[in-house]
Amino acid sequence: MPIAGSVIPIMLASLFTANVQTGTTDVSNNREARQLHKANCTACHTPMIYTRKKRRVNSYPELVKQVKGCDLMLSKNFSQQKLSALVHYLNTNYYKFK
């Protein structure tokens, strides 16, 4: 039985989750992260997707997986530093996971 297309990126992203830093990101990366988000995420995502009641991401590890999944699906191949900065940016500005 084939696996649904949306499940594969999440499964693959989970293999790489450990590589994304889970701590805080240097403040200088915030500007870069905001620019990365604007240039690469807003074409598909409006801020509403991060704040809706029934959102797909409900924990910090899920956020890391989702960002890695988007990176993988779109073949962006961002560095670990950029991925970490994006996760930190999204968490700080929208999700607010502890």
Per residue in 71-86, pLDDT (tens digit) is: 999 999 999 999 999 9
Confidence (pLDDT) at 77: 93
Q: Averaged over 16-35, what is the pLDDT?
A: 58
Confidence (pLDDT) at 29: 64
Q: Which residue has the tokens 């509403």?
A: 48
Confidence (pLDDT) at 51: 86
pTM to 2 decimal places: 0.69
Q: Residue 48 and residue 50: Cα distance in Å, rounded?
A: 5
Helix (H) or strand (E) holding 80, with range, is helix 80-90
Q: Which residue has the tokens 């009641």?
A: 53
Please state the domain extents for the chain: 7-95
**pLDDT digit string, tens, across residues 28-38:** 568 889 999 99
Q: Residue 90 and residue 85: Cα distance in Å, rounded?
A: 9
For residues 87 and 67, the answer to whether their CB atoms sit within 8 Å is: yes
